[in-house]
């Protein structure tokens, strides 16, 4: 069983920590506040979708920062959150209640199991931000997993996935290769020092069947608090290097972080 706690800061915001690692930051007074860098990057992808309500499936929930963000920025959006840790969800709902009028449904299921149960072409976006024991589960890294996620996306839908990796980016390269097999228009977002391979950190991988609205994503990322870069095409290939897609027979979880990552602290 995972250990979790909720810490309230001097600004009235709350950080959910799972096994000692910050997983979510929530401000009930300002649900549009995205504090962690990689969460800002995931939000930039969601912001690039056409105006109005969007159907979003979230693989991983914790304090449900992004579902709250989508509800605030696109009221009435139907959202599904796949979060297998039912005790965590119960505590979050009690201490950090969801906004009135939301259409957020939380299902106590692992991500792959939950996505497999969804209908074809039922989501405008899938956001994957799932960790178990501080690692992305292996079954969310394979080509077969991305085939299932692609099935659930509508033709213009996007998948945005938070992955963590060592400075060599070998794991992320293999995950991106599997994503590209099924959603061939790809990009990745990370802080500049991560692209320079200076430290362990988070990269957001993005894929779609149709060309991404990269201009919108780039502009939003440029306004963020953390110096970050969006890469695609040849620049992305050079930054990550080549990788053979994971399959269900050889899939591996993401590398363990060496310590609680500094970029997850509130700045």
Taking only the tens place, the pLDDT of each residue in 162-212 is: 999 999 999 999 999 999 999 999 999 999 999 999 999 999 999 999 999
In a domain, residue 260? The reply is no
Assigned domain for 261 exists: no
Mean pLDDT (the chain) is 93
The verdict on residue 150 lying in a domain is: yes
- CATH number for the domain spanning 197: value is 3.40.50.150
User: Which range is least confidently modeled, 3-17, 108-122, 203-217, 224-238?
Assistant: 3-17
Share of the chain above pLDDT 90, in %: 81
What's the whole-model pTM score? 0.93
The pLDDT confidence band at residue 267, using thresholds 50, 70 and 90, is: very low
- The mean pLDDT value for 43-64 works out to 96
Q: Is residue 43 part of a domain?
A: yes
- Give the confidence band of 134 by pLDDT, cuts at 50, 70, 90: confident
Comparing 47 with 10, which gets the higher pLDDT? 47
- Does residue 108 form part of some domain? yes
pLDDT, tens only, 57-105: 999 988 999 999 999 999 999 999 999 999 889 999 999 999 999 999 9
| DSSP letter (8 states) at residue 132 | B
Q: Please tell me the total count of domains within the chain.
A: 1
For the chain, the maximum distance between any two Cα atoms, rounded to a whole number of angstroms, is 47
* Residue 266: predicted pLDDT: 35
Task: Provide the pairing of β-strand 153-165 with 201-208.
Answer: antiparallel
Quick check: is 265 in a domain?
no
- pLDDT over 90 (residue 159): yes
For residue 1, is pLDDT > 60?
Answer: no
Strand segments, DSSP code E, in the chain are: 4-8, 14-18, 21-26, 56-59, 79-82, 104-107, 123-128, 153-165, 185-191, 201-208, 228-232
pLDDT reported for residue 259 = 67
Domain range holding 151? Answer: 4-250
Average pLDDT over residues 115-130: 98
Residue 96 maps to a domain = yes
Rounded Cα–Cα distance for residues 63 and 25 (Å) = 7
* Euclidean distance between CA atoms 247 and 139, whole angstroms: 9
Is residue 266, in this structure, part of any structural domain at all?
A: no
């Amino acid at each position: 069983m995972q250990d979790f706690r909720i810490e309230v800061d001097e600004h009235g915001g709350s950080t959910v920590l799972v096994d000692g690692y910050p997983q979510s930051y929530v401000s009930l007074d300002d649900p549009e506040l995205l504090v962690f860098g990689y969460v800002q990057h995931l939000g930039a992808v969601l912001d690039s979708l056409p105006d109005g309500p969007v159907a979003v499936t979230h693989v991983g929930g914790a304090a449900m920062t992004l579902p709250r963000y989508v509800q605030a920025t696109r009221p009435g959006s139907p959202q599904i959150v796949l979060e297998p840790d039912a005790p965590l969800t119960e505590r979050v709902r009690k201490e950090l209640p969801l906004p009135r009028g939301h259409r957020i449904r939380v299902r106590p299921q692992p991500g792959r199991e939950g996505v497999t149960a969804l209908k074809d072409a039922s989501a405008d976006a899938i956001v994957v931000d799932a960790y178990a024991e501080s690692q992305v589960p292996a079954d969310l890294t394979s080509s077969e997993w991305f085939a299932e996620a692609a099935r659930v996306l509508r033709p213009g839908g996007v998948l945005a996935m938070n992955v963590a990796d060592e400075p060599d980016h070998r794991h992320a390269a293999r995950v991106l290769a599997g994503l590209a097999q099924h959603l061939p228009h790809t990009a990745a977002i990370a802080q500049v020092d991560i692209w320079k391979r200076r430290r362990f950190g988070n990269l957001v991988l993005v894929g779609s069947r149709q060309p991404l609205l990269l201009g919108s994503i780039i502009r939003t990322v440029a306004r963020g608090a953390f110096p970050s870069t969006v890469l695609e095409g040849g620049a992305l290939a050079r930054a990550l290097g080549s990788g053979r897609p994971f399959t269900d027979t050889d899939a591996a979880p993401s590398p363990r972080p060496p310590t609680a990552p500094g970029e997850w602290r509130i700045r």
